[in-house]
Structure 1
Amino acid sequence: MALRLKLVPDTTTINFFRWQWLTFGSSIALMIASLVIVAVMGLNFGIDFRGGTTIRTESTQEVDVGTYRSALQPLGIGDIIITEVFDPGFRADQHVASIRIEAQENAEAATPETVARVQDALREIDPSITFPSVESVGPKVSGELVRSAVIALVLAALGIGIYIWFRFEWQFALGTVVASVHDVLVTVGILALFQIRFDLTTVAALLTILGYSVNDTVVVFDRLRENLRKYKTMPLRDVMNLSVNETLSRTIMTVVTTLIALFALLIFGGDVLRGFVSTIIFGVILGTYSSIYMAKNLVLWIGVNREPKANPKAGTKFADIDA
């Protein structure tokens, strides 16, 4: 007999609207608090957004990122990102790494003295190491990256809204976009509160959060559309409760399995992945919450036109749209 793991019973009758004003009010409060935290504390921008210096290294010895980091940590030069560079054209004994150092205080990039200290520290652990190039990223380029990141997030949210609008109705699109903005904004507030490094990988994590949140919300809305056809006289609030209960098992299983993988990355992925994974973990939890408690509440308050079309086969205005 096969063993089935059940985190949620097959049939649930939870009233998700019981505390709707508390849950929705808490979400609004968290969004406002996030804006205040970002404005007061600011984000802990990484090298991508703050500017800095990139040092390229070459050696006949294999690159050990952990050893490199241990050698540079005592220098106290701030944020350091170390990545090994791979290329099919490299020789068998050619091992290349890229070391990125944040801009020092009152300077656009690392000073020559700082670069020399880094090079000396690496020579102590690897006498064969050489430094083919040293490049700096100034504040102008960093500012352009900040603007590009904001534009990417805004366009992604708009694209999602348009997609939901065509697939469902504008009420569903509005609920989805507001829930997605809630997830991203509160996540950014958490990053600012704990001063977790914010760089281009964090932007990628925020875009991933948008996709995850929408996926969760669409599953609920898809079941809601089916139930609107099936229960034509049932009050909209009850249809929504039914839809969330029917998809609850899938929602819980999805978030649990996703978090298992993410926590494995958080524990074993090292410092390079820590900010990226932490951001996604916050977003996945918030995305699950907003799909259940926020998106559908907005749709309920806006209302949905459930009058059938002239076509007698159409149960509701959603009947002609494929799932």
Structure 2
Amino acid sequence: MKNFALIGASGYIAPRHMKAVKETGNQLSVCYDINDSVGIIDSISPQSEFFTEFERFNEHVWQLKRSPETALDYVSICSPNYLHHAHIAAGLRLGCDVICEKPLVPTSALLNELALVEKETGKKVYNILQLRHHQAIIDLKQKVASEKKADKYEVELTYITSRGKWYMESWKGDPRKSFGIATNIGVHFFDMLHFVFGKLQKNVLHYANDHKAAGYLEYENARVPWFLSIDINDLPDSVKGKQPTYRSIAVDGEEIEFSAGFTDLHTISYEEILKGNGYGLEDARHCVETVEYIRTAPAVAAEPGEAHPFLRHLV
């Protein structure tokens, strides 16, 4: 049994990490969050210690280190994006391996910095790249590898997850803290595209504001117009009033259905990490570099064949 700490216990994704620790037969020893709306702990790990000040959390972890039975093995991080780097470094320096949500960090320079901390501490960072464990994505990757098409696949990525007014008042709506729409909600899709279709060869931004972004990515084996949005008005008429989210990946006109099976992917990710098969800093580099460029790139007019169909409603 491994001992875990969780930083960011009141966040949206935290319960999936709590359940993953429990379902892999391990112990959630201590949780930390500046917010105390963490009643979910009662239904998953009521014995966990909980702190709302990092200083008290840090001191408690140091006390746990005195005994091999209580010393932490892993620190899991679900804090706001802009705190990931500091919390990852703190976890490594506490003598733990670290499991962190996406985006791992906003820049490749910070990836390099974490690599230095890994070397200094002898501990390792793992990124949750859960779509790599989704069976539909695994099947698509195998199909691409086996078909060896002469031409590139024509792929269209659309992800609309409508959010209320609270979103822009939270850290997620602050680009200094979330790093913007493409990073906050797009990074795991960009990682998935790289995982399936190979190295990125072209990265173009067509549109970006606080609520949506669109662009074009070209990989070794695919051409991908993409569109991301938190605006409910962008939902297709076919789903408006029926569901708040629209998720679509079409490959050569064929829809890849992967809406089901999301809830267990964190547990699978933990299982693989515990077996030594987790995704580390270099696995995350490709998607970090992709969103780093998108954040700083100027929006340009789309070339023929590179525009997402939804782009015509924006420009």
Q: What TM-score do the two structures reach when normalised by structure 2?
A: 0.23
More strand, by proportion: 2
Taking CA–CA contacts closer than 8 Å with sequence separation of 6 or more, which of the two structures ends up with the larger relative contact order? 1
Q: What TM-score do the two structures reach when normalised by structure 1?
A: 0.22
Q: In terms of Rg, which structure is larger?
A: 1
